[in-house]
Structure 1
C-alpha cells in the first residue's frame, strides 16, 4: 500500500509539474508573439483586450435586466388575467344571485312558502303560475341565458316549483332532497349561497341530468332567520364557466382552477395533472384572508396566482410555469448580443484609424533612422505633434544635427531652432460675434416661419445683451425687468404649462437706477431649488412699488419652500471653497447682500420668508434715486 501511495503521489506531482511547464511555455509564447507585433497591432490588441470584457459585463447586465423585466411583465399579465377572469365569473354569478334574490324577496312567493294550508294550494296544478310571478322568472332566465334549471322547494309541504329548459329533471320529493348532504350543508350555512359542480352522472340534485352544471343552493329563512321557509336551487350550464377558463389561458402550460368558497371545484382548464395540481394547491397557496387580494406563491417550476371575489367568495387559481431564459431569449439575449457584435465590428475601423494616427509618425521615424544608418546625414523629420512621438522626432533631429556638426567640424553652423509652444489660453467669445450669430439664427427661424423658435432665440440674444450691458454695474429698473422677462420666457419655453409667472412693476419706478442683477439670482434660485426638484405646477410673481422714497420689490413662488435649518444655513459661509463657485444658491444670495451693503451701507432691507411645501417670499427694499 505504501509503495502504491508513493507511486500515486509521484504521478500526481509529475502531472502538476507538466501542467505548470506547459502553462509557462504557453505564456512565454504569447508574450513573444505580443512583443513581435507592431505598434499598430498592439494598440488594437490591447484595446480589444480591455474593451471586450467590459462589453461582456455590460451585456450580461442588460440580459439580467431584460430578464427581470420579462419576469415582471409576465407576472403583471398573469395578475391582470386572473383579475379579469374573476371579474367575468363575478358577472355570471351575479346574474344567478340576482335571480335567486328576486325569488327570495318576492312577496307572492313568500306567501306560498308561509301558507298554512298547503293542501288547498296543491289542488291547483298551476298555483305557482297563478299565484306567483313565475312568468317573470322564466323571462329573466331566458334573457340571462345562463340559468338552465330553477327549483323552489317549500318547507311547508307545498309542491315544489321545478323548471328545466335543457331536458334535465329535478328530484321532486322534498324528503329525499332533505336527506342529501348538499341540503344539510346549505342549511348549516344559514342563508349563504353555496356553489357546486354537478356532473351529468350525479343524482344528489337531479333525477336526470345530461350536461354538467354549476348549481347554486340557497335556503330561504324568515326575517328573524330562525324558521326555514324554502330551498332554492338554480342550475347553470358548466360550459359557460369552462369557456371563461379556456379564454383566459394564454400558454399551453397554464392551468386555471375555479373553486367555491368552501373548497368545491367548479371548473378547471389546463395541462397540469390532478395529482400535481392538488400538491401545488396544498403547498403554495392558502385561502386569502382579504377577498379580491391576489396572492402569488412559488412551487417548483410553477407560479401560483390566487384571487377571491368579494361578492361571491369564489376563488380563482392560475398555475403557470416560471419564465425561463430560453423562453424569452429573443428579447433578452439576442438583442444585447447583436449590440455587442455590432459594437465590436464598428470598433475595428475606429481602432485602425486611431492606431494609424499613432503609428504613422513612428514609421516615418524608423525610415529616417534606416537612411541615417546608411550614411544619409541630411535626414530631418517634420515634427507635427508634441507628444512622445514628437519628442522622439525632435531628439532624432537634434541628434542628426549634432552628429553632422561633429563630422563637419571645419564648418560652424549657426542653427537657430524655433520651438513651438501650445498656449492653453482660455478663448473668449466676442460679444458682438455672439449677438451676430444669434441674430443670424433668429432670421433663419423667421424665414422658416417658425415663430416660436425665433421668439426664443430673440429672448436669449436680448438676455445676453442685457447681462453683459457693456460692463455697466448700475442699470434702470426697466432694463432689469427686461432681463427678468427674457429669462422667464426662456424658462417658460423649457417647462411649458407647468410654469407660470407674472411681473407687476409700477410705471413710476421704471426709470429708477438699481444695482445690476440684484433680483435675477433670487428668481433663478426660486426656479432651480423651488421648482426643478418638485413635481407640482409652479407660479412665480415679481412685484415692485415705489413708496415714501424707497423701492419695494417682492419675489414670491409656490415651490417646495425651505425649513428653518435651511434658512439659517443661507447666511453661513461655506468651509469648502468649491462651493464659492456656485452660480446660484447661498453664494449668489450672499453676493447680492454684500453688494447692497457696499452701495447702501445700512440703508436697505433684505428679508427671506419660507415654509416647507408653501413656497418662498423674498422682499427687498432700497432707497430710490441712486447716484
Structure 2
C-alpha cells in the first residue's frame, strides 16, 4: 500500500490524502447529525406521545364525565331520592309507571335519545321498589336487586362507597345483563342519601363501546400505534389500534402498576415500544398510548438515508473540485519540472513564469534565481579565466626581477646617504617602500592599514614632485585597520586626483583620505580640490566598453581604465554589496566614496 501511494503522481496523492482526511470528518459530522436528529426525534416523539395521550384522555374523560354527571344528577334528584327512601314499596310497586310518574325519567329517556351512545340505564332501589330498567338496543338488564347483589360488580361498588366504577361488558350475560346485544362501557355505583351515610340503591349506565373506539382511532396518528384504557383496579377496559398480547398482559400485570408507583413518569420504554400514561383527575381511569420503536426507527432510517445520500453527493462532488485545486497546485510544479529537465540538458536560459506568491511561486522564483546565478557564475568564471590569461601575458611581457629592482634602489639609497644627500636618500627609500607595497608578493587581498600605507608612500613621492603645492591628510579608523579588502582599490583614485586634478594646474593641491567604520560596513572617502569633472566625463570613464576605449585608457598614466578596473574587481568580489559613488564639480574638486561590507558580513 505504501509503495503504491509513493508511486502516485502528486495530483493523485493530493486527491487521495484529501479523501483520507475529509471522509472520516464527514462521517463524524454525519454521525453527530444522526445523533442529534435521533435525540430531536425522540424528544419530538415524546412530546407527540404526551400530547396524544393527553388528547385521548381528555376526549375519554369528557365522555365519561358526561355519564358521571348524568348519574350524579339522578342520584341527587329529590324525586328519585323520595322513591328510594319510600317506606311503602309494595304500594308504590302497584303503579307500573311509578318511575315515569314520580321521577324525571322522561328526561332520562330524552338523554338516551340525544346521547346516542348511551344504550342502557338501570336503577335498583334497596327498599324493594321495582327497578327502573331502560334498554334501547334490545339488551336485558338484571331484573332485581337480589340478582344484582350476587354479582362481583355490586361488591366492588360497595367497597367504592359511592365512587364511580367502570367495567366493559361483552355480548353475553354477566354482572349487569341477562342478555347484552352490544359491547358496552358500563358505569356502576352505589346511590347514597344526601348525607352520604345511607345506601339507597345501585345504578348502572351502559354506553356503546364503539364510541370509545372511534375516539381512540381518531386520536392515534399511525396504524401501528395503540391505545389502552384501564380502570382503577388495573383491568383493561378498552383497546384501540394495534396492541399485542404481551403488551396487554404487561399493562394488566403488577409490573406496570409498580412501575407507575416507583417512577411516577408520564412515559417510559418497555420492550420495543414507548408507553405514554395519563391518569384521570379522580384516578378512575388510566389512559395509555403505545408507540412502537419502529416508528422512530423508520424516521431515523429516512434521516440516515438522507445523510448517506448527502455524504455520497459531497464525496463525489469533491472530486472535480479537488482535481481543479490539484491542477492549480501541480501545474506550476510541472512547469518547474520541465524547466529542470531542459536545464539539465544544458539550456541555462530557462525561466518559469508563475504569478502566485505561495510556496510554489517562491520555489519557482528560487529556481529562476538559481538558474540566473549559475548562468552568471559560469559567464563570470569564463570572463575571469580570460582576464587571468591576459594578466599572465601582461606580467610575462613586463616581468622584471624584483630582487634586481630592490638591489638597485638599495644601492642608490646608500650612495645618497654616503654622499650626504639625506633628502635624496629619503626619497629613494620611499620609492623602495612603494615598490614593495605594490608588488606585495603577488597578494590580491590586503589589510586596510596596508592599503592606507601604500597611499601614504605614494603621496610622499608626489609631494616631492609638487614641492610646496601638495598637502594631504589621511585619517584611519583603527577599528577597521585589520579588515581585508582587494588590493589597489583606493590608490588608483588617489593617483587620479593627483594626475588629473593637479598636474596641469598651478593651484595648491589638497587631498583628504578617510577610512572609517559604519553601521553596515566600512566607508572610504578620497576628496581633492582639483579641477573636477563633468557628468559626461564621469559617464565616459565608467561606461567605456569598446576595445578602442579600453586601448585608449591603457595608454594613459591613470584614468578610466584603472577606475573601471577597480569597479569590476569590486563587483567580482562583493556581488553588488558595495557602493562606488563619484561626486565632482568642475573647478571645485572631486569626491570618491566607496562603501564595502566587512569580512563577517
Q: Residue in 2 aligned with 1:182? A: 153
Indicate whether 1:158 and 2:129 are aligned: yes
8 Å Cα contact 1:288-1:307 kept in structure 2: no
8 Å Cα contact 1:113-1:154 kept in structure 2: yes
Closer, same or farther in 2 for the Cα pair 1:288/1:231, shift >3 Å? farther
Indicate whether 1:48 and 2:19 are aligned: yes
Offset of 1:80 from its aligned partner?
1.4
Q: Residue in 2 aligned with 1:238? A: 209
Offset of 1:274 from its aligned partner?
3.0
21, 24, 33: which one pairs with 1:62? Answer: 33
Indicate whether 1:37 and 2:8 are aligned: yes
Indicate whether 1:313 and 2:284 are aligned: yes
Closer, same or farther in 2 for the Cα pair 1:238/1:383, shift >3 Å? closer
320, 329, 339: which one pairs with 1:368? Answer: 339
Indicate whether 1:108 and 2:79 are aligned: yes
Deviates more, 1:333-342 or 1:390-399: 390-399
8 Å Cα contact 2:57-2:287 kept in structure 1: yes
Closer, same or farther in 2 for the Cα pair 1:115/1:383, shift >3 Å? closer
Offset of 1:331 from its aligned partner?
3.3
What is the CA deviation profile of residues 304-350 of structure 1, one whole-angstrom value per residue up to 9, with x for unaligned ones? 22211114621112233224775224532122222222222232222
Structure-2 separation of matches of 1:140 and 1:324 = 42
8 Å Cα contact 1:171-1:205 kept in structure 2: yes
Q: What pairs with 1:381-530 in structure 2 (closer than 5 Å)? A: 381-409=352-380
178, 182, 186: which one pairs with 1:207? Answer: 178
**The residue matched to 2:190 in structure 1 has which SS?**
strand
Closer, same or farther in 2 for the Cα pair 1:104/1:369, shift >3 Å? same
Closer, same or farther in 2 for the Cα pair 1:353/1:87, shift >3 Å? same
Q: Which runs of 5+ in 1 are unaligned?
A: 1-29, 414-627
Give the count of matched residue pairs.
Answer: 382
8 Å Cα contact 1:381-1:397 kept in structure 2: yes
Q: Residue in 1 aligned with 2:55? A: 84
Structure-1 separation of matches of 2:368 and 2:47 = 72
**Which has more radius of gyration?**
2
71, 92, 95: which one pairs with 2:66? Answer: 95
TM-score in terms of structure 2 length = 0.59
Structure-2 separation of matches of 1:80 and 1:138 = 36
Offset of 1:135 from its aligned partner?
0.9
Q: Residue in 2 aligned with 1:504? A: none
What is the CA deviation profile of residues 454-494 of structure 1, one whole-angstrom value per residue up to 9, with x for unaligned ones? xxxxxxxxxxxxxxxxxxxxxxxxxxxxxxxxxxxxxxxxx
Supply the RMSD in Å over aligned alpha carbons.
2.5
Structure-2 separation of matches of 1:81 and 1:301 = 19
TM-score in terms of structure 1 length = 0.57
Structure-2 separation of matches of 1:122 and 1:142 = 26
Q: Residue in 2 aligned with 1:264? A: 235
Q: What pairs with 1:268-279 in structure 2 (closer than 5 Å)? A: 268-279=239-250
Q: Which runs of 5+ in 2 are unaligned?
A: 385-601
Deviates more, 1:94-103 or 1:66-75: 66-75
Closer, same or farther in 2 for the Cα pair 1:275/1:329, shift >3 Å? closer
Closer, same or farther in 2 for the Cα pair 1:140/1:272, shift >3 Å? closer
**The residue matched to 1:192 in structure 2 has which SS?**
coil
Structure-1 separation of matches of 2:255 and 2:270 = 6
188, 195, 200: which one pairs with 1:217? Answer: 188
Q: Residue in 2 aligned with 1:377? A: 348
What is the CA deviation profile of residues 150-191 of structure 1, one whole-angstrom value per residue up to 9, with x for unaligned ones? 111111111111111111111222222222221122122111
Closer, same or farther in 2 for the Cα pair 1:211/1:281, shift >3 Å? closer
What is the CA deviation profile of residues 408-466 of structure 1, one whole-angstrom value per residue up to 9, with x for unaligned ones? 347769xxxxxxxxxxxxxxxxxxxxxxxxxxxxxxxxxxxxxxxxxxxxxxxxxxxxx
8 Å Cα contact 2:124-2:144 kept in structure 1: no
Closer, same or farther in 2 for the Cα pair 1:177/1:329, shift >3 Å? closer
